Amino acid sequence: MMKFVELLLLSIILLIEFAASSKPVSVFDKKIGQLVTSSLLIWEPFDPSNAKHQLENAVAAGEFLEKYPAYICRSSVNSIAVTGYVKKRNEESHVCIVSMHSQIKTKGDFELLMNKGNGAKIDWIDWEKSGVVFTHIDGTVSTINSGLRSEVYYIARHKKNHSMEHHEIDHAIGWFDPKEGFGKIHATVSSSEQTFDNGQVLVTFEPLHYELHDIKFSTIKLKVETKRILLGQTMLRNDGEQSAEVNAVIGYEYNLTRNLGHHDAIARSVNTTVFVAKKEVYNCFWGLETNNRVMNTKGVSTTLQPGTALNISLWGNYTVRDGPYDAHLIIHWADGTKSKKRRIRVNAGYEANLEDQLEIDYSPTFWLHNNTVVPTTTTQRTVTSTTSSSTTHRSIFSTISNNAIERITEKSSIKNYESEEDDDDVNESKADETSSSSKIHIQSCIITFIIMNLFRFIAH
Ligand SMILES: *[C@@H]1O[C@H](CO)[C@@H](O)[C@H](O)[C@H]1NC(C)=O
Ligand SMILES: *[C@@H]1O[C@H](CO)[C@@H](O)[C@H](O)[C@H]1NC(C)=O
Ligand SMILES: *[C@@H]1O[C@H](CO)[C@@H](O)[C@H](O)[C@H]1NC(C)=O
Ligand SMILES: *[C@@H]1O[C@H](CO)[C@@H](O)[C@H](O)[C@H]1NC(C)=O
Ligand SMILES: *[C@@H]1O[C@H](CO)[C@@H](O)[C@H](O)[C@H]1NC(C)=O
Ligand SMILES: *[C@@H]1O[C@H](CO)[C@@H](O)[C@H](O)[C@H]1NC(C)=O
Ligand SMILES: *[C@@H]1O[C@H](CO)[C@@H](O)[C@H](O)[C@H]1NC(C)=O
């Protein structure tokens, strides 16, 4: 029984270890003269059952004569982590070949240097004992996880030459020791360890800034939730002696929340600019949710008879969109270069925003002194809205309506004021009439609009 429990515990521990087994990659930062953690590269344990898929994202340091990549691997020799290359024994079996102090090790248990989604910029920089000071090279990739050890080695290679005739790769792949003399590259060459006074070291550059273009929700898996919300209310009233135009301003607020989600090729918290339209951009830090309280106002006005009033409600659709999206990504790196535009698919983008379509809902006009509805025949019921004081916040995702101008629809309220006294002029059906007449007004506007455009089309 005890044995069983122990075994169970051990397997649980192994499972946890496996899940959390990726390790950070430390790179040399020239500016501060120390090792820092790479935001994108990681060391991942080689998983034979997933070899094909895993190797697609691994970093190579050369090519075998049989024309397949020689991937960088890491394993330890006498408990010291050093790098070498992955060799394919057959389709199923891979080993890591590393060497140190003239010991050549062939390991089945090793780690791969991963650049998932190809988001990190990597390069090989020439190093030469007699010319290049190693600490002047920025971004060199070390073989250790964190910078707390005294001996730190770096990933390096040396191009194959005539005296390595039997070597199976176009490079000798190993590691660099900056403290040995003025530096030395160690690598395995056809079953023996050799050292070199020149070669290349692997460097990586951090992303500094992302640009995102043509961002578009995929409509298939998009979850959309819309809630019609009351943004504000006001009463337009004419307390004067004569017919007059009455104005009011409705202030409203809402939360604008956005999150660009996560992607393997993209480091979190990096300054990102999303290009929404020609001159419109949205700035954020990738992976961090932004939440802005947006404040806006809407002006309304109408002409009212003396002693009458009108209630106005401003409605909007607050919509949450959550789903995968496609975009074009450009990466700006720390070395001042930028990547080509490439297409990416992100699993979960999020935006909670107020739609640009607002609705003004107005009550029938009523007498202020006795609260009864003014007969429709004697009143004019046109409420006009003035443009808002600040711009609308458009969706950054292009599947959503992209009208730069805030659109307003007006309609009279259907759920109605109830007369306190019995009045022949006022009843439910009268109110319905009001709303249908306003509908007719909107419809005729639409028809006029269509006809106007038709003329414009014919004119062209
Ligand atoms: C060629 O490789 C040998 C080791 O096999 C090394 O000693 C020698 O320095 C290399 N030659 C050049 C020009 O790098
Ligand atoms: C808006 O955001 C604030 C702060 O994040 C939150 O406390 C509040 O409940 C939100 N309001 C709405 C209407 O979602
Ligand atoms: C983010 O990048 C943009 C464009 O390079 C720049 O204008 C802006 O100041 C940056 N923001 C921060 C907080 O660094
Ligand atoms: C909100 O959405 C509904 C349903 O799509 C639509 O009928 C309405 O016009 C939209 N606008 C407002 C302000 O409710
Ligand atoms: C309310 O006042 C208006 C205007 O003074 C009048 O025409 C109407 O009959 C009154 N309604 C009632 C129920 O008294
Ligand atoms: C207008 O608004 C006032 C105050 O909000 C309310 O008491 C009244 O019943 C409303 N009248 C109508 C016709 O909606
Ligand atoms: C409301 O109007 C309808 C039709 O015009 C009429 O039949 C009804 O008696 C009216 N109701 C009241 C309470 O005046």
414 ligand 6 Cβ < 6 A:
no
Residues 134, 178: contact at Cβ < 8 Å?
yes
Ramachandran sector of residue 154 (left: φ over 0; alpha: ψ -120 to 50; beta: rest): beta
Cα of 394 vs centre of ligand 2, distance in Å, is: 19
Last residue of a domain, one of 186, 205, 224: 205
Whose tokens are 């006498």? That residue is 78
The per-residue pLDDT for 408 is 61
Name residues whose C-beta falls within 8 Å of residue 111's C-beta, 6 or more positions apart in sequence: 23, 43, 44, 45, 46, 73, 74, 75
Cβ neighbours, 10 Å, residue 79? 5
Cα of 291 vs centre of ligand 2, distance in Å, is: 8
> Relative to the CA of 254, which ligand 2 atom is closest?
13
Last residue of a domain, one of 152, 176, 205: 205
How far apart, in whole angstroms, are the C-alpha atoms of residue 323 and residue 317? Answer: 19
The per-residue pLDDT for 151 is 83
The answer to the question of residue 364 being in a domain is: yes
The per-residue pLDDT for 38 is 93
DSSP 8-class letter at 117: G
How far apart, in whole angstroms, are the C-alpha atoms of residue 313 and residue 414? Answer: 12
Name the 3-class secondary structure at 436: helix
Copy the structure tokens of residue 240.
Answer: 């004067």
37 ligand 5 Cβ < 6 A:
no
Closest to 21 measured CA to CA, from 39, 57, 47, 58: 47
248 shares its domain with 111 = no
The total domain count for the chain is: 2
260 shares its domain with 235 = yes
Q: What are the 10-residue block averages of pLDDT along the chain, 460 residues in total?
A: 46 42 92 91 94 93 94 92 92 90 91 92 92 87 81 94 89 93 91 92 94 89 93 93 91 93 90 84 90 90 90 92 93 91 92 88 90 69 58 66 51 42 35 33 38 49
Copy the structure tokens of residue 169.
Answer: 């790769």
186 shares its domain with 49 = yes
257 shares its domain with 338 = yes
Cβ neighbours, 10 Å, residue 83? 30
DSSP 8-class letter at 132: -
Counting ligand 2 atoms within 8 A of each CB, the residue from 227, 229, 255, 292 with the most, and so the one to mutate, is: 255
297 shares its domain with 392 = yes
The answer to the question of residue 454 being in a domain is: no
DSSP 8-class letter at 149: -
Within 13 A of 195's CA, how many CA atoms are on the CB side?
14
51 shares its domain with 82 = yes
Kindly provide the b/e burial profile for residues 396-435, where b requires at least 16 CB atoms within 10 angstroms of the residue's own CB.
bbbbbeeeeebebebbbbeebeebeeeeeebeeebbeebb
The per-residue pLDDT for 287 is 87
Whose tokens are 């009463």? That residue is 235
Name residues whose C-beta falls within 8 Å of residue 58's C-beta, 6 or more positions apart in sequence: 69, 71, 72, 86, 112, 113, 114, 115
The answer to the question of residue 455 being in a domain is: no
281 shares its domain with 147 = no
Copy the structure tokens of residue 254.
Answer: 């809402």
Nearest CA to ligand 5 atom 4: 367
108 shares its domain with 253 = no
Residues 198, 126: contact at Cβ < 8 Å?
yes
DSSP characters for 181-224? TT-EEEEEETTEEEEESEEEEEEEE-EEEEEEEEEEE-SSS-EE
The answer to the question of residue 9 being in a domain is: no
How far apart, in whole angstroms, are the C-alpha atoms of residue 403 and residue 407? Answer: 8
Counting ligand 7 atoms within 8 A of each CB, the residue from 429, 432, 434, 436 with the most, and so the one to mutate, is: 429
255 ligand 2 Cβ < 6 A:
yes
97 shares its domain with 53 = yes
The answer to the question of residue 334 being in a domain is: yes
Last residue of a domain, one of 180, 205, 230: 205
pTM above 0.85, yes or no: no
The per-residue pLDDT for 386 is 63
CA distances from 411 to 382, 422, 436 (A): 10, 26, 9
212 shares its domain with 337 = yes
The answer to the question of residue 190 being in a domain is: yes
The per-residue pLDDT for 191 is 84
Residue 215 is part of a domain; what is its CATH number? 2.170.15.10
Q: Which domain holds residue 302?
A: 207-448
The answer to the question of residue 15 being in a domain is: no
152 shares its domain with 215 = no
DSSP 8-class letter at 437: H
48 shares its domain with 75 = yes
The answer to the question of residue 53 being in a domain is: yes
Ramachandran sector of residue 368 (left: φ over 0; alpha: ψ -120 to 50; beta: rest): alpha
